Amino acid sequence: MTRSEENPPRIVVVIIDGLPLELAETVVPDLPFLGTRVAHSSTAVSCFPSTTGPAYFPFLAGCTPGRANVPGIRWFDRTRPTPSAFPHRGLRSYVGPDARRLATDTKAVLLFARHAWPVSSPIGKDLPKHGELSRDLVWAAAHFTHRWDRADRRTSWKLGRAMKKGREIVFAVYPSVDELGHTFGIAGGKPHSALEEIDRHLAEKLHGFEGDVLLSADHGLTDTHTHIDLRSVVESAVGTTIAFPLIHKRFPRAVVCESGNAMGNVYLEGETGWASLPSPERCRELAARLLELEGIDSVALRAGRPHAAELWTRHGVGEVGFDRSSLYQRGPVFDSTFQGATPTEALERSHADQNPDTAFALTSLFASVRTGDLLVSAAPGFDLRTGSEWPEHHASHGGLHRAHTVVPVLASFPLPERRLRTLDLFALTLERAGIPLDEYAESDTARLARNRWAPEVWE
């Protein structure tokens, strides 16, 4: 027996990408394996944007997308100098070849650097092996053939191998629920069937494993019936606008970068060019115009002073901010208001809101200069790209609202009774693995534990 086989992992973390809370609550208790293996359940608030890629940073690095400086699966860095009229060097889309740049786009330190073995991960950084080429090829083929069962089988095969690698943590991602939901919708039943198949895979690969199992999701997922062409809407309001994949228009006045199809970073050219920010008044004018459209749930924008943001909805305008080491939330748009709250208190007080944890989420995300000037969230049933996208999306995620940000948490061990963020699952994973949180002292999770958190980018 090898040394690695003598030291099996202490905890296996399973992320079922895009697993909706309602589907988990309905299906998991009756599954033959998971129904008994992860008998302790709770929920957690994910991050914003609630989309694959950025929403993995809380699990893997204990930090928010804003701290990781990755504000979406597509984004634009207006500060990058470029000699051409466009396309701009600061454009990024992880839906395609740019996916490999994610590893160098952030300074965040992932669990893979020392303590976790990657069965599969949308963030290929700090890996203890030579990349994820086989995963990339299988997932690319599945995108065109819709055979996401093969991607799940690849994950299970790698899970079996990972149990012998001698690391304290094994991290496995199953993509089928999210991808089949996008392609066929949730109501069609394919995500349900995929979840049952994942249960069979886990029963086989974790048979006899005596350590802990933690299962969660990066974001929620809702069926989509109507597409909003956000690019064309913005173009009609401000002038020439580009959005992926058509990014070769010269001298654009705006850039639209969608994530999960239900969230969009919108960037406006500043008064003196792209290197400067637009005025808050211009952003407010566009926010008001966007909210005239059915299907736009909310629009967030910088409030014109450090660490403050405005949230615009049809119910009014609210403001959130970070001031003197505490968070505040006020205005008619919110179900709850508070001032002088710690991040833990802010989560507790806003947990039941339509947009839970908004103060923490927005102040954190706007700390990144790569974040849009406006953050647009579509309402459930709507998304922000056209039906001509292939494959056409029939389910979406990414929004600020609870349908996309509240996710299931299931474990083989008792879970904390307090309100949770997916950030907290990072600390919980380390605890069950016997690893001090101080090993990742610069993570948001560690800073929160020390009461030293502030919205900023990991440098």
Cβ contacts of 137 within 8 Å, gap of 6 or more: none
Residues 46 and 113 in one domain: yes
Residues 260 and 347 in one domain: yes
Residues 377 and 413 in one domain: no
Residues 175 and 312 in one domain: no
147 exposed, middle or buried (CB, 10 Å; 0-12, 13-18, 19+)?
middle
Entry pTM: 0.95
Residues 247 and 209 in one domain: no
Beta bridge partners of 456: none
Residues 173 and 234 in one domain: no
Task: Please give the tally of structural domains in the chain.
Answer: 2
Residues 168 and 40 in one domain: yes
CA distance 101 to 79: 18
Q: 86-102 burial by CB neighbour count: b if 16+ within 10 A, else e? A: bebebbbbbeeeebeeb
Query: How much of the chain, in percent, has pLDDT values that exceed 90?
Result: 85
Give the number of C-alpha atoms closer than 13 A to the C-alpha of residue 398, restricted to the C-beta side: 31
In 361-434 the beta strands, taken as DSSP E runs, fall at: 374-378, 381-383, 395-396, 406-411
Sign, CA dihedral 381-384-388-390, equals negative
pLDDT category of residue 6 using cuts at 50, 70 and 90: low
Report the chain's mean pLDDT, rounded to a whole number: 94
In 17-121 the beta strands, taken as DSSP E runs, fall at: 40-45, 74-76, 91-93, 116-118
Mean pLDDT of 269-296: 95
Residues 145 and 246 in one domain: no
pLDDT digits (tens, 9 = 90+) for 56-82: 999 999 999 999 999 999 999 999 988
Residues 240 and 329 in one domain: yes
Contact 61, 110 (CB under 8 A): yes
321 φ, ψ to 5°? -170, 170
For residue 99, tell me if it sits in a domain. Answer: no
| Boundary-marking domain end, from 356, 372, 396 | 396
| Boundary-marking domain end, from 358, 378, 396 | 396
For residue 84, tell me if it sits in a domain. Answer: no
CA distance 189 to 184: 9
Write the Ramachandran bin of 331: left for phi over 0, alpha for psi from -120 to 50, otherwise beta.
Answer: left
For residue 127, tell me if it sits in a domain. Answer: yes
List the CATH number of the domain containing 155. Answer: 3.40.720.10
For residue 458, tell me if it sits in a domain. Answer: no
pLDDT digits (tens, 9 = 90+) for 25-34: 999 999 999 9
Domain that holds residue 240: 224-396
- Has residue 244 got a pLDDT over 50? yes
Mean pLDDT of 391-415: 96
Residues 435 and 349 in one domain: no
CA distance 376 to 218: 19
